[in-house]
Amino acid sequence: MTETVARMPLLGDPFPKLTVETTHGTMTLPDDFKGSWFVLFSHPADFTPVCTTEFHAFQTLYPKFKELGVKLIGLSVDQVFSHIKWVEWIEEKLGTKIEFPIIAANESIAHQLGMIHPGKGSSTVRAVFIVDDKGIVRLILYYPQEIGRNMDEILRAIKALQVSDKYGVATPANWPNNALIGDRVIVPPAKTIEEAKKRLEEYECYDWWFCHKPNPEA
């Protein structure tokens, strides 16, 4: 019998079903977030400076994530009691109450999500999974332990994904502050010769394959 080896999810894959212990009790992912986007992010360890700044930053922006219908959930291989004590410390020392749950993952879960990279030690690296309201993985980021993440970029990526889904468009580099077209969005490429000709009449274009239109949510 051939042994099935679990691989980490890739873009477009369903997020794997996991039962996990968290600071908010036992949870099942992605089922407990059904109908909602969520960001699962791992950190190397509790009670470390960079991770502490990240949790403070995530919590500070949490209202903006919630405005987009997005939930947050953290993860490391520390035990639940360590997460609880760390969260208490953050509230006591920094005045920031962490509202989202934190997973106490075992190494099996961390490996399944590709969060342990042997070349970077046995701690989880700084992984980010953005999962949509259908439980599909839409974006994956990995950072080494020594570099803190940019939460504004994670928020920006979610906004771009949601606009793309809703209107069938693409977004340019640094959107909504692109150097060429500002906050405008890119029209999908034409699929026929006739459609290519119409593109130049219907939209502002650099050429028929590079057309753009106003941001529908501006």
Q: What is the band of 106 on the pLDDT scale with cuts at 50, 70, 90?
A: confident
Pick 45 or 183 by higher pLDDT. 183
Q: What is the band of 121 on the pLDDT scale with cuts at 50, 70, 90?
A: low
Q: Is the pLDDT of residue 83 over 50?
A: yes
Can you tell me the distance from the alpha carbon of 26 to that of 4, in angstroms, rounded to the nearest whole number?
26
Q: Is the pLDDT of residue 122 over 60?
A: no
Whether pTM exceeds 0.85: yes
pLDDT at 5: 45
pLDDT at 218: 84
Domain span(s) for CATH 3.40.30.10 in the chain? 18-149
pLDDT at 33: 96
- Active site annotation includes 211: no
Q: What is the band of 3 on the pLDDT scale with cuts at 50, 70, 90?
A: very low
List the CATH code of the domain at 18-149: 3.40.30.10
Q: What is the band of 116 on the pLDDT scale with cuts at 50, 70, 90?
A: low
Residue the block writes with tokens 């470390």: 48
Count of CA atoms in the C-beta half-sphere (13 A) of 88: 7
Can you tell me the distance from the alpha carbon of 10 to that of 188, in angstroms, rounded to the nearest whole number?
23
Can you tell me the distance from the alpha carbon of 85 to that of 94, in angstroms, rounded to the nearest whole number?
14
Can you say whether the dihedral through the CA atoms of 46, 147, 18, 106 is positive or negative?
negative
State the average pLDDT for the chain: 91
Average pLDDT in the 9-23 region? 94
Average pLDDT in the 88-108 region? 93
Q: By the 8 A CB rule, do 15 and 9 touch?
A: yes
pLDDT at 124: 72
Catalytic position from the list 51, 72, 116, 157: 51
Domain span(s) for CATH 3.30.1020.10 in the chain? 168-218
Q: What is the band of 110 on the pLDDT scale with cuts at 50, 70, 90?
A: confident
Pick 6 or 71 by higher pLDDT. 71
CATH number belonging to the domain at 168-218, selected among 3.30.530.20, 3.30.1020.10, 3.30.565.10, 3.40.50.720: 3.30.1020.10
- What percent of the chain has pLDDT above 70? 94
